[in-house]
Structure formats: structure tokens, C-alpha cells
Amino acid sequence: MGSQNQFRVLFLCFIALLIGSSQAQLQQGFYAKSCPKAEKIIQDFVTQHIKNAPSLAAPLLRMVFHDCFVRGCDASVLLNSTTNQAEKNAPPNLTLRGFNFIDSIKSLVEAECPGVVSCADIIILAARDSVVATGGPFWNVPTGRRDGTVSNLVEARNQIPAPTSNFSTLQTLFGNQGLDLKDLVLLSGAHTIGVSHCSSFSNRLYNFTGKLDQDPNLDSEYATNLKTFKCKSINDNTTIVGMDPGSRKTFDLDYYRIVLKRRGLFQSDAALLTNSVTKSTITQLLEGSVENFFAEFAKAMEKMGRINVKTGTQGEIRKHCAVVNS
């Protein structure tokens, strides 16, 4: 009996180790021993390049959203497909930028510590550091994510909120990721930096309901301005417009002021005013300080960075971010 009990204890310990290895948690300084210079390498590269190309901060931040909303934060958005069926081939991702930037960082980190640091961690660290480099908030990035091996166009098309999303769709898609209405408002605040192509909102200017009409929820004076000076036709796919005009390079509260004035570019921006909770949250943010917004945005970003992460023995550490290991 004694030997049987001993065997049972050893077996249970073995099972516990297996479960622990596949369900390991993210932690601050995950690479402190395995690649102690990793985060500094990423930070230095980002700081150096964002100084010369500040417009890249917004695309890197957008990449985090688009990665985490599909299969969790596992860098599946970086994978290439020989049949053009990967996430990056989906309509929401066709205007994503920053892939080469992430590849450059990965090369530097691989040279320092081969096969240790995941592309999934690099995406989030690079986005955080790029926002900080443009004067935006710092947030903690616990690390230890592993990279996924599957990337699916259909999933990206269905799970990434579109600029044409109404409130119900936004609530559902964010809720599917464990994000609440406060997170929806805070994460929408990322629109305080960056630009959009006219094609993402021109239907609001020229053909909102299919009757060559204008979206009544868009300030008419602003709509006229856009049609006169920016998006001069519904077929304009190249002109870009600041999502936070006059302040698109500064991480601040102005985006929320613009939304309240019904001058948010997207239907998804306007949708925030159609719900009492999200509208109230915007008002509260504007009544507070920019430091408070920074702190709240940081919490939301850290929360999003934990969506369905792969840790322990799940996934892999890709050698090259665009392809799975052979």
C-alpha cells in the first residue's frame, strides 16, 4: 500500500507540473534571466526610430488591438500565408503598418538571445515604448507570451471591430474578449493619435444609407469641411485624415472632446454617444486630468494584453515572426 500511495503522489505531482507548465502566468521581467537585455534592446530601438518617425506609434498601437482580438495576443497577425488567407490578408488588416519594424526588433533580440523572446511580447512592448516615446502613458507589460501557429483571415474579419461598427457590435466584440464598456471607451482613446484613410469613413459623407446621403450623427459643418478639403469623392482610397485633428501627434484627451462634438471620424466613435454608460464615461474622463486618463488607459492596455495568452508549453517562440518554425 505504501508504494502505491507513493506512486500516486508522484503521479499527481507530475500532472500538476504538466498543468502548471501549460497554464503558466505572465510576469514582470519574465526575461530577466533568460535574456536580461531584451526589453532594453526593444526600448532603445523604438525610442531611436520613433523620434524620427512619430507617425509609426499609432500603427504599432493598432497592431496590438488587431493581434489580441483574434486568438489572443499571440502574434498571429504577423504570420504570412502562401494562399493569402492569414489575418494580415483580412480587410481590417490591409492598412496595418509596422511589420518590418517588428521584424527588425526581432532580429536584434534573436542576435542577443536566440529562440527566447516571443514576437507576441515584442509587439506589445514595442507599442508601449512607441506611445511613451511620443509623450503618452507608460504601462506595465508582464511578459512570457508565446507565439501562435494559426492565422485565419475569416476570424480576423469577424472579430476585429470595424470603423463602421454600431454600439451593439462593439459591445459584443469587446465582451467576447472579456473587455467591458469602460475598456471600450478607454481603448477607443487610442484614436487620439494617428490617421485614417478616407475609405474608412467616406460612406458617412456620401452614401450613409445607400441613398447618397450623409450621416446625421456627424457634425454637418465638419462633414462639409472633410468633403471640401480632404475626402473629395467616395472613391478616394489614398487621402489620410487625422483621427484627432490638430492634436493627432499628441496623446491627450482631445479625442473625447471631438467625439462629444460629433466630430469623431468613424461610426464606431459616434456609437460611444448612443449608450448612457459610455457617454458618461467620456464625460468623466474629460472632467478629470490627463494624468488620470493615462492611468486608466494603462490599466485597459494591460488588461487587453492578457487576452487568451499562450504561456508555458503552449505555442512556440518563432525564429522569424512571419513564419512558424519548421
Distances in whole angstroms, Cα of residue 252 to Cα of each of 131, 236, 240:
11, 29, 20
**CA–CA gap between residue 253 and residue 248 (Å, rounded):** 11
Q: Decide: 176 and 210 in contact? Cβ < 8 Å.
A: no
Residue entry with cell 542576435 = 111
321, 314, 308: which is closest to 76 by C-alpha?
Answer: 321
Q: What is the CA radius of gyration of the chain?
A: 22
Question: Which residues are registered as beta bridge partners of 197?
Answer: 240
For residue 147, the SS3 value is strand
C-alpha cell at 197: 484613410
User: Given 49, 66, 197, 320, which residue is catalytic?
Assistant: 66
| Run of H or E residues at 131 | helix 119-133
Q: Decide: 77 and 152 in contact? Cβ < 8 Å.
A: no
66 labelled catalytic = yes
Which residues touch 124 (CB under 8 Å, ≥6 apart)? 64, 73, 141, 145, 305
Binding residues for Ca(2+): 67, 70, 72, 74, 76, 87, 192, 244, 252
Binding residues for substrate: 161
Binding residues for heme b: 191
Binding residues: 67, 70, 72, 74, 76, 87, 161, 191-192, 244, 252
Catalytically active residues are 66
